[in-house]
Structures are given as C-alpha cells and as structure tokens.
Chain A
Amino acid sequence: MASQNQLASIKGAKVLMVGAGGIGCELLKTLALSGFQDIHIIDMDTIEVSNLNRQFLFRKSHVGQSKAKVARDAVLRFRPHISITPYHANVKDPDFNVDFFKQFNVILNGLDNLDARRHVNRLCLAAEVPLVESGTTGFLGQVTVHVKGRTECYECQPKPAPKTYPVCTITSTPSKFVHCIVWAKDLLFTKLFGDKNQENDLNVRSTDATSSSEHVEDVFERRKDEDIEQYGRRIYDHVFGYNIEEALSNEETWKNRNRPKPIYSRDFLHDEIAQQNGNVDNAASDPSSVSAMASLGMKNPQDIWCLKENSRIFMEAFKLFFMKREKEIGNLTFDKDDQLAVEFVTAAANIRASSFGIPLHSLFEAKGIAGNIVHAVATTNAIIAGLIVIEAIKVLQNDTNKYRMTYCLEHPTRKMLLMPVEPFEANKSCYVCSESPLTLEINTHRAKLRDFVEKIVKAKLGMYFPLIMHGAALLYEVGDDLDEAMVANYAANLEKVLSELPSPVTSGTTVTVEDLKQELTCNINIKHREEFDEEKEPDGMLLSGWTQASSVEKDDNKSNGNGGSTSNASQAVPVEAEDNVEMDVPSGKKRRLSEISSQGLLSFTEETKNHGKLEVVDDDDDLVMLDGDPGLNKRKRMQ
C-alpha cells in the first residue's frame, strides 16, 4: 500500500489523461482506486463494438457515445466522491493550450497515434509538466517517463515510420498478400470509388511507364449506356486480365520471378449473373449495412473464399456500391469499419493474389491488414495502466532517481516479463526539446513555399499552427485573427518559389518555423541543391539533423507513403490502430538499448536475447535495496 507521503501527493494531485480507450479505461479505474481525486480526461472517440472486449467501462448500450463521458460515469459508480472531468474533444484542439496543460501535475498518455503523442509531448515540454507515455500491442507494451531537464522527451529518438512498399512491388511484382491488399485498397478502391483526381499508378507498368497513362483514364470511367454488370466485368477483366497480360509482355521482369496468370471474369462468373440480380434488391436500405457477403448468403468472415467466391463478392460489392451508395462514390476513402469496402478489398486482393500465386486470406485477416488493426487484449492494457500509475506517483513525489521505463514482454528476458530500465538522458540534438537547428536541402528555385509547409512543416515537424519567418519578415502564418490582406498575402506566398519570396529564402539563410500552440520554435538552415533522386527522395527535399527511421522494404525503389499516393506526403502516416506501441528506437551510442534494431518492439525480445547486452536496473543480491537508497538503486551493470 502507498505510504502516507504517497497518499498525500496522490490526493493533492490534478492529473490529465489523454485517451479513454484500451489503456484509458484501465488507467482511469486504477487511478480512482489508488486515491486520485481530480482527474481530467480527453478523448475524441465514440464507443464501438470492437472496443467492448477490453474497454470494460463500456457496454453495448453505449455504442456511439463519447468514451470520455461514459468512462467517467462508470468510474463514479464505484468511486462517487472523486472529480472526473471529461472532454469529448481532440487533444489537438486549440483550447488545450499550454495554459490548460499547466494546471496539471502530470499528464498520462493512453493514445493511439503518433501525431497526437508528438503534440502532447510538445505541450508538456512547453508547460513544463511531466509526461508518462504508454502503448500496447498484443502482449507487448511499454511505459516511459518524460520530464523536461531530467529525461529525454518523447521525440528525442525518431520513431519508426509506418511500413511502406516500393511502388513497383505494388503495381507489378507483388510477392506477399499485403502487397495485394495495398494494391486493392490504395489503388483500385481509390480509383473506382475515391478521389478520381488523385495520382494513381493502378496500371501495371510496362517498360515505358508513361505510354499508357492516357488510356487508363478511359478504362475506369463508366461508359455511357453501360450497365453496372458490364462495367464491373470490364473493370475485372482490365485489372486482373489485360493488365497482367501487358505485364507479362515485359519478359525482363519475369526472368527471376514466377509469371502471373491473367484472370478473366468469364472463367468464374458465367452463370452467376441471373441469380444475383434478385438478391441485390433485398439488401438493407441503410447504406452502412450493405454487404455483399449478406446478399450472397456468406456468413463466416474466417472462411477463405475460393477464386470463384472472391469473383462473386467482387462483382456483388462493386454493384452494391453503385446501386446503394452511389452518392458517396468519388469521396470514399477506405475505412476498416466499412463492411462493403472491406469485402471489395478482400475479394480484389485475393483475386490478385491468386494471379501471382500468393496464398489467399479470409476477410477477417484481410481486414486486419488493410485497416492496420493492432492486436489488443485487456490484460496488457491493465498491466500497462498499473505501471503508469506507479510511475505517476513517483513523478508526483519528485522521486527522480526512481523513474523507470518499463517494457512488458511476451517472452521473458533474463527471467523478466516486466523489465524496468533507467530513463535516457535528453538527446542534445533533438529539435523538439533541445531546439537544435535542422538543415534542409532543397531546390530554392523550384520548390514553392507550399511544398515546404506541407512536406516539412506539417508532415515532418508535426506543426499545426505554423508561423514562418525569414529574418524579420513574416512569410506565412495560420490563425483565426488574420485580416484579409494578410490572408491574401500568405496565400500568394504559398505559390511562390522560395528564392522569389518577398524576403528570398536562399542557400545559407535560416528560416524560423514556430508553432504558437505548441510553443515550439525550430530554426532550419537552408542549403540549395539542384537535383533530387526521385526514387529515394520523393519529397524533392531532404531534412537532416533529425531523421525518421525508414522502414521501406529492402528492394526499395521508391518510398510512397502507404504504398499508394505519392502526391501527398502529409498523409503518409496511416496509423489508425488502437493503443499502438511506438517503440522507442534507440540509435545513438549513448543509449543503453542501442543494440536494438529499428524494427520496433516486436523484435525487441529476440534482439535482446541474441545480444544479451541490455542493461537493466538491477539490484545486487548481496545488497539490501529495499530501504530505498537512491545511490544504490542507480547502480546498473552489464549482464
């Protein structure tokens, strides 16, 4: 049980929880039981059925309601006399500014995405409030403590970028099922139902990649007086038949690969049409419940469909989109909770997989891959929440020497399932907490200010309310209180190349980027460079001083976000998973976990087993450590 001292600091504390999901529910419960009296909680999400297996404060009747509010009500039932203040809002809202953060003694993160984590990290640094950060995936999890001036900040080490795939692997030479999913989701689905104007490499590339681009536009448009059935079969034959034939004609590609097999709708769909038409009309009228599986009488999402079944689902889903959800066509983006979209993508990916001799997968599996669904169980979240509270109490007591980062492992390492490690020192070259300058190589005669704002300021630096200065000149800012002339001026600046701005940004000068909400300032030294490698540097610019670990596949030709659009770098982080771990990837020599590769937590235990060099806070057998002598607790040793 907590000491009197601890109890006093717990009772007097005001804490902010960010996230009321898997970790959040457990955390709120454990905080309340531990005696915390004043808890604020932010979450923008509403409750979904797939949350109920672990977010135990929620019931089926709560589906659709605010997580923060329902969580509050549930906890008050067993701890009625404490204060819980819910906010059904995005933590990035301007209301949650530095002053808001300053009222708390500690911030506890149970978040599900990198962007929000970075944002909260900056606000904590600016407000000088300690942060306890956490994440889980399956049986793995981690808790870290970030206190300005004491430990590293959340961004001291670059986080691994989401997995990306080279474009040609997706368009021409898939070898894994995930490649087929990316193709079906980001290329085919988007082309047919999403933003038609988006750049899209749907067609298999022939040797001369540009030759067929004009032809492509025609093919995917529905022709006049073409019925949906004909249209669907034409698309089917084009992407699974014609495109494969065309790819096969390029002998060079297949020298060391298995040749794919073209598939045509006539082989699988000959007699089906008549029977299916009747069913379509029976589908529910609510667009969100339209399902090709339901109208074909298929029930089990765990089944792996044969090629014929996949072809039928493909055609059925295609038709249902046009018949039941026509209004949405043109604006659809893939959503893992959109049943019809998942069905279409599963079927398309399986047909393509079949062509390339890749094993087929069930809808359940395909949905997980396509939706980046992170595995989640209640137990890990409960454990992690317990560890967060333990660290939070140390923070409240200012027990600096006892702060620990703790890893929850699936397989024991040195007999440990829960492994505490001493926190790392701040990275002196961290642009976030040390405000070290960055360097940007860019073609100052070609790149526009807009490119800089989108690809660097937003995508790389994670700023939402940027203000860009060059010397004393203000080049750009975002805000509600700008007058029209300024807005027009900034809009004009966005379209200018850097060297032609009112205050020309040229090689050797320094641009200052500031986010007023995050109270973060960043100086960027500009270095002009004429040429960029289109494949390796798709942004056409290179930011250094802070590098994001890349996880592009080995035979990489071109990194392209999630395998889809190359045009919009700011959307290259499609992490919509829950409570996902973003494993700190130590790269500097000073970090004690430096042996760990950049593959994230999943490979963590393997790595440490292999190397066995991990330094863990360890008391010695012959020493009595439990009296709490901080000098002794600080001892570490190599295995």
Chain B
Amino acid sequence: MDGEELTEQETALYDRQIRVWGADAQRRLSKSHILVCGVKGTVAEFCKNIVLAGVGSLTLVDDRVVTDEALFSSNFLIPPDENVYRGKMLAELCCDSLKDFNPMVRVSVEKGDVSGFDGEFFNKYDVVVVSCCSLVTKKSVNEKCRKLSKHIAFYTVDCRDSSGEIFVDLQDHIYSKKKLEETVECKLQYPSFEEAISVPWRALPRRVSKLYFAMRVIEKFEAEGRHPGDVSIADLPDVLRLKKELCEANSLNESHIPDALLERLVTGTREFPPVCAVIGGILGQEVIKAISGKGDPLKNFFFFDAVDGKGIIEDISISNPKSGS
C-alpha cells in the first residue's frame, strides 16, 4: 500500500468493519470517489451504506425538484416537512442528511443531467452508479466510463414493486481473495451493459431469472417514449404485446416472462422499502468489494424478489457457454 496509516479516530470508528475487510481495504475506501445519479429509496440506502463504510467522497446528481412526498416515499434521507423540502432538489436534500452520517466523508451535489456529462466529468470518480434513468442513458454513461483509461466501476440499480436489479461492469477486474489460508489473485472480464443485454436470449442458460427478461421488456417499453419509471397498469396490454414480440424475435418461450410478473412491475412504481434495504445493501457490499479489490465481486447481474425471497446472481456475458442448469 501507499504506507499512509489510518488515524486513531478512523481505527476507533471503523473498528468492527476493519475486522471484516482489513486496514488496507479501509485505506482504499477512504481514497475512493463515488458518483450516484438518481436518488430514490434504493440509492438512498446505498449512499447510507458507503458513507458509513467511509469512502473518500460521494457526489449526488438528481435535479428533480421535490413537490410532494411521492418522490421520497421510501427515502429516509428527506424529512417530510414541506418547509424543508419544497422547491429543493432531491440531491440537495439527501446530501444534507448524508453529511451527518459520517463527518469523515465529503458529500456534495453536482447539478445537471447525467446524460449531458462528458468523459472528463466521469474521470473524477472511481465508481459510478446510475439509477432511474433511461436505457439510452445507461448505455451512454457506461460507454463514456469505458473509454477512459482509468478503470471506473459502473453499476445500474433499479427497484420496481418488490423486486430489484443490479448490473455491474468492472471491465477487466483484478482482485484478491482468500482461498483456504492463502491469498490468490483473480481476474474477471466484464461485458458492457450494451454487450450484456445484446446477448441473444436463446443463448442464455435455461434457468436465467425471469426478472432479467421482464426488466428488459419494461426497459425497452420505456425507451420508446417514456420517462424511466413512468408506466402504469394502463400500459399492461402494450407491455404484454412488446413481450410477445421480443420473445418471438428471440425464440424464447413466453412462459419465461410471466404476465403476472410484468403486471406487478408496471403497477408497483413505488419502491418497497424492505427491498430497497436488500438491494441497497448488496450494492453497497459490491462497491466495497470493487474498491478494495478483495473478495469475489458479482458478475454481472443481481436480482432480488421479495415474492420468492431469492437473491440471485446471473452471469450474462457473450462468452457464456450455452448450457442448461
């Protein structure tokens, strides 16, 4: 490592977690810079987790102006006091609360729209997390990050109803892990978001989570003229039609994307707080793993659904061997 030691204050505050990931991982964390775009309940959970963990800085982007409580029904960072929130941007409100969680972390706000930021902007960060944004934005931010010589860890996260999805792109990631008593070095290669979602469905293992397909259907539906998250039960017939088309185009049996699941995802536009906690927790853990370079990071999708209670990792890469379960 660079030889810089943790201060006494840091050692005391982070005692319990240093026992989990070690002092050098803690030092790396304290030098890392995180950018999040789109601050809803799940991202609020994630922000809390990494601020507590002691990252160097956290920058929030979300210009949406808060007019009523619907925007933060599952966000505990915003006090439901009209005098406090009215007219302010989501990012500003969350920033105020997050600062308070850990005085050693620099929390700030960047104004603007994430789709308008260029590579130079992203170059300031080690980790970029995007949420509540369109398919096009996800792809373009991911590509901008990939063009930089520096390895930026890129994540997307979204929760709908009682289910959630995380996508991870760590590009070429080298990390260490403990195997028995020895530390071994490992390497993983990640596809970009575009590459991952372009893998033909029929090339995927038979037992890939239904949520993967369902999320792609809704993502595609929204990409055709909707704001992210702007769907309702009224859209169900169109969503189902799109599903049929996509299944046919991909020669995938339609039973892989149950109508009831899609119905649930278009109806429940608000996040379900326990799911925010679960997804925000997993994402926090993954970001900590990526920064510290310690432990197997997940590759490259994670799904959780409160209905069946499973938290599943799916590897959706081009090189995926076509195999059954």
Contact = CB atoms under 8 A, between A and B. Distances in A.
A633 B53 CA distance: 38
Contacts of A417: 282, 298, 302, 311-313
B308 A625 contact: yes
A411 to B, nearest CB: 6
A65 interface: no
Interface string A378-414: 1111110111011001000000000010101011100
Given A375-B17, A415-B314, A386 B274 contact: yes
Interface in A619-639: 619, 621-622, 624-628, 633
A60 B268 CA distance: 38
A420 B310 contact: yes
14 contacts: A33-B76, A53-B16, A375-B17, A377-B16, A378-B53, A379-B288, A382-B49, A382-B280, A386-B276, A416-B310, A617-B308, A617-B309, A621-B206, A621-B207
Interface string B12-26: 111111111101000
A548 B207 CA distance: 41
Contacts of A418: 278, 304, 309-311
B273 A389 contact: yes
B256 interface: yes
B76 A29 contact: yes
Contacts of B45: 382
A376 B308 CA distance: 27
A12 B33 CA distance: 43
B304 A415 contact: no
A426 B264 CA distance: 35
Contact of A302 (B23, B80, B277): B23
Contact of B260 (A2, A33, A415, A624): A624
Given A378-B52, A390-B306, A416-B311, A78 B284 contact: no
Interface in B260-310: 260-261, 264, 268-278, 280-282, 284-285, 288, 295-296, 298, 302, 304, 306-310
A375 B19 CA distance: 6
Nearest to B8: A299
Nearest to A392: B274
Interface in A123-138: 138
A375 B23 CA distance: 13
A53 B52 contact: yes
Residue from B14, B19, B268 having most chain A Cβ neighbours under 10 A: B19
A330 interface: no
Nearest to A52: B13
Contacts of B126: none
B277 A385 contact: yes
A50 B76 contact: no
Please give me the 4 A-B residue pairs with the lowest Cβ-Cβ distance, nearest first.
A418-B311, A386-B277, A420-B309, A383-B281
Main SS of the interface on chain A?
Answer: mixed
Given A56-B52, A412-B313, A390 B20 contact: no
Contacts, number: 194
B73 to A, nearest CB: 8
A491 interface: no
A589 interface: no
Contact of B277 (A2, A30, A625): A30
B62 interface: no
B54 interface: yes
B236 to A, nearest CB: 14
Contacts of A32: 76
B255 interface: yes
A383 B271 CA distance: 15
Contact of B255 (A383, A415, A622): A622
Interface string A473-503: 0000000000000000000000000000000
A626 B103 CA distance: 44
Interface in A259-290: none
A60 B12 CA distance: 12
A515 interface: no
A80 interface: yes
B17 A377 contact: yes
A441 interface: no
A623 to B, nearest CB: 8
Interface in B216-258: 255-256, 258
A50 B13 contact: yes
Nearest to B98: A56
Interface string A53-86: 1101001100000000000000001111000000
B194 interface: no
Given A78-B80, A368-B19, A626-B264, A379 B308 contact: no
Nearest to A420: B309
Contacts of A60: 103
A626 B278 contact: no
B16 A420 contact: no
B284 A378 contact: yes
B54 A377 contact: no
B51 to A, nearest CB: 8
Given A377-B21, A382-B49, 9 more contacts: A26-B277, A50-B13, A52-B102, A77-B79, A377-B16, A381-B281, A389-B273, A415-B312, A625-B258
